[in-house]
Chain A
C-alpha cells in the first residue's frame, strides 16, 4: 500500500489507535479477520437492493435484544403469562416500546426475509456457486416462520390461544406423523401449562440458536463467495465477454430473436 507521507501528527494518532488492534491481533488473529471482512472487494456496481440481507440481520438483532429484555419480565405460565404481558405493556418503564418493537419487528423480519429472497431470485444469485447459500436461506426462512408461530402463543390472550389451536391442528393433519407432531408441540391433550413452556423454550433458546448459527454460516458463505453484481449492469463482474468468433452475428446483446445465440455459451 503506497501512500503519500502523512503528517507526523497523523502518524502518531494512527500508531496510538493501532495499539489495541495490534494487541488483539497478536493474541487472536481476529483483527486480521475483521480487516479482511471490511476491506474485501465487492463489485463496484452493487445496488441498494443488496442491503436487504443486512437489513434482515438488523431486524433479527432487534428481535434478539428486545427478546432478552422481555424475558426478564415475562412468565411462561398459563396463570401468570397474561398478567405479565399486561404489566410489561402498561406498567414497566418503556415496556410498551420493547414489547411493541418485538411484536412489530417480527413482521418486519419476516417481510424483509421475503424481500431479500426476492432480490436473490431476481439477481439469479442462487446459481453456481451459491446454491448452498440459497438452501441455507430456505432453512432460515422456515426457522423464521416457526419462530413466529411459537412466539404468537406466548401473550396467552385469545388471539394467541386460538391461533395456536388452529396452527397445531394444521400440523395434526399431516399423514402418519400428524398425531406425533401435535403431541410434541402441545405436550398433552390440550394446550396448557406444558405447551406454553415448551413453546417458550423453542422460541427463546432452540430456534434463535439455530437461526443464529445458520446466519453465521450464511455470512461466511457470502464473504467467501462474494456477492453478485446486478445482472443488468454493463459492468457486471464475471459477465460474458463477447467472443470475437465468427458465429456471433456482430451483436452479443440481441433482443428476443437471437439467431445463432445457441452457438455461444449456453445461457
Chain B
C-alpha cells in the first residue's frame, strides 16, 4: 500500500505523461476556443451597455430596460432613498434581515461570510480524495447544490424585498394620529422622517429594518428611556456601544444641532405605540 501522497504524485506523473503523449498544443485549437469565448463576452458587455443607454434618458427618472443612467445626486440628508447594494451583495444584505441586532447580527454580517471564506480556502484540504468524477463525489455535489440554492434564494429575496417607505407629510400625520403624539412631538416626527433614520429603523410600518435596528414605534414606553437619554443617544450612539448608527450630534461632528436633537428626543419619548 502506498501512501496517499505517493498516490497523488504518481497520478500527477501519469497526468504529465498522458498530456505529453496524447495532448495537443494550446495554439491554435484551445486558444481559438478561448478567443471565441472572449469575443462573446465583449459583445455581451457592449450589448448590455447599449440597451442600458438607448432605452434610458438623461433624466434620472427615465429608467430604461436596465435601469436609469444614474439616480439623483447623493444627498446625506435624503429621507427615503432605499439603500441597496449592488446585486452580488444582496445575499449579505438579506442575511441582515434574518439576523437581528445585537444578539445575532454579527453572525449574519461577519460570521457567515467568514465561515464561507474559510470553507472555500479550506476546500482542497477537507476534500483529500483523488476522485474527480461527480457521481463519486456525492457530498461535494450536494454541498454545491445547497450553496447555489441558498445563495440564489437569498439574492432573490434581497432583490425583491419590499420596502415600506414613508417620507412625506401624510406619513407624519398618520403617525400623529395613530400614536397620539402631542403637538410638541410633531417637529421631531418630521425631522425623524427627513433625517434618514428610516434607512435603518421602522416606525409604525414605514421605513426599512436594516442592520438589525429596532422598530421605534413604541420606544418611549420602554422603561428608563427618557428624553435626556434619547438626546444623548442620538447625539453619539458610540457611547452606548452602538457602532452602526451614525453620530448625529454637531458637537461630535454630526449634522444636527441641540434644538433638533431635543425635538427628536421629545418625539421618541412620546412614542408609546398604538392604542
Contacts and interface: CB of A to CB of B under 8 A. Distances in A.
| B is bound to A | yes
Contact of A126 (B18, B123, B131): B123
B211 A131 contact: no
A128 B11 CA distance: 9
Contacts of B223: none
B37 A51 contact: yes
Chain B at the A interface: SS class = helix
Contacts of B46: 97, 101
Interface stretch (A3-11, A17-25, A85-93, A207-215): A85-93
Contacts of A55: 34, 37-38, 40-41
Nearest to A99: B49
A96 B49 contact: yes
Nearest to A163: B85
Contacts of B52: 100, 103-104
Interface string A226-263: 10100110011111110000000000000000000000
B267 interface: no
B70 A155 contact: yes
Contacts of A182: 243
Interface string A115-149: 00010011111111111001100100110010011
Interface in B185-240: 199, 210-211, 238
B124 A127 contact: yes
Interface stretch (A67-75, A106-114, A198-206): A106-114
A162 B247 contact: no
A157 B73 contact: yes
Given A159-B84, A265-B130, A131 B124 contact: yes
B87 A107 contact: yes
A39 B211 contact: no
B106 A175 contact: yes
B76 interface: yes
Contacts of A43: 18-19, 22-23
Contacts of B44: 108
A128 B127 CA distance: 10
Contacts of B106: 173-175
Contacts of A122: 134, 144
A37 B53 CA distance: 40
Interface in B84-137: 84-89, 92-93, 96, 101, 105-106, 109-110, 117, 120-121, 123-125, 127-134, 136-137
A12 interface: no
Q: Which 10 residue pairs are nearest across A and B when measured between Cβ atoms?
A: A100-B49, A238-B15, A124-B132, A41-B23, A161-B74, A162-B83, A131-B124, A231-B132, A237-B18, A51-B37
Given A51-B37, A62-B42, A189-B254, 15 more contacts: A39-B27, A58-B38, A82-B74, A86-B70, A89-B70, A96-B69, A100-B52, A101-B49, A126-B124, A129-B12, A159-B81, A162-B199, A166-B83, A166-B211, A237-B19
